[in-house]
Structures are given as C-alpha cells and as structure tokens.
Amino acid sequence: MKELFLENLNQIIYTAVVILVLLIIQSIMKKAAHRIGKQSEIHVTRIRLMFKYINILVTIIAIFLLALTWGYGAEDLALIFSSVFAIIGVAMFAIWSILSNITAGIILFFSFPYKIGSRIKIHDKDLPIEAVIEDIRAFHLHLRTLDGELITYPNNLILQKAVSLVAKETSADEGKDAL
C-alpha cells in the first residue's frame, strides 16, 4: 500500500490541488451569482438554479483536469470528449427546444428586467397575454392571468416577444437570502 502511495504521490498532490482550486473557484462563482441575484432582486429559486449550472460546469472541468493528472493524454481525452459530445449533439438535435430554453433561462437570470410578482403583457399578435409572473424556472415561466388561468410560457419565446411591465405586485418570497 505504501509503495502504491509513493508511486502516485505526484498525482495525489495534483489531485488535492485541483480539487482545492476548483472548490475555491466554485465558491467565488456562487458568491458572485448570489451577489448579482441580490443586487438585481432575483428570486431565490433562480439563484439556486444558477448554483446548479455552476456545479455542473465545475464538475466537467474537474473530470477533465483529473483525467489529465492521472495520465490520460490530451489525445485520449479529446477522443473521449468528442465522442461524448457527438452523442450528446445528436440527442440534443432531436430536443433542441429544451437546450434553447435552458440557454434562455440563463439569459433571463442575468438580464430579465421583470421579477416574480411582476404583472406583464406579452405582445403577441396571435395570443396576447396579460398575467402575473408566479415562477421563473429553467425551461419556462409560470404566468397567472387575470382570470386565474395558469400559463406555462417557454423561456425562449419570452426572449422573442415584446414584453411590457404593467404593474409590480409584491411577492411573499421575494427578498429571501439564497444559500
């Protein structure tokens, strides 16, 4: 056991350093997302969603760096990642709307001017909607019309349509800290 430890001492040290650095980077990114969320008065569930995206990003980077540390060559990793991404790409082509909604959800997190509780009007010539935003999720918005009807509106469409703020209503959950 001692021989195995001594043979791999450099890799063990590099692994510890990589994990420590990535945990620090993850912490900094989460604090930045939390600070942006508080400054922009973004709802706590949207901040937590960004935390999930940060965790996924850091995990992918960790897998790549640890594979390099433990002796996989760049060519081997390029082959593995290109194969995985090719399979994911073919699968995502079939479900591209999900990917576009996730991307739109990230964009909405940073630049959507309306919050939960805002009363908005979506200017669509076929189906104009006036409703209150009840929830903002990774794929869609939950909108409650004045008649009490719940509408699930895709994130990618909210970026494509003109939206105006009618009035701001206060939400009981707004302003809670996310950690």
What pLDDT sits at residue 130?
94
Q: Which two tokens stand for residue 100?
A: 């576009």
What are 6-48's pLDDT values in tens digits? 777 888 898 999 999 999 999 999 999 889 888 888 888 888 8
What are 45-89's pLDDT values in tens digits? 888 888 998 999 999 889 888 888 877 777 777 788 788 888 877
Q: Which CA distances in Å does 130 have to 12, 39, 81, 133, 155?
A: 58, 27, 45, 10, 16
Q: Which CA distances in Å does 65 have to 50, 70, 106?
A: 23, 9, 25
The more confidently predicted of residues 148 and 44 is: 148
Helix axes 96-111, 44-69, angle to 10 degrees: 120
- pTM, entire model: 0.51
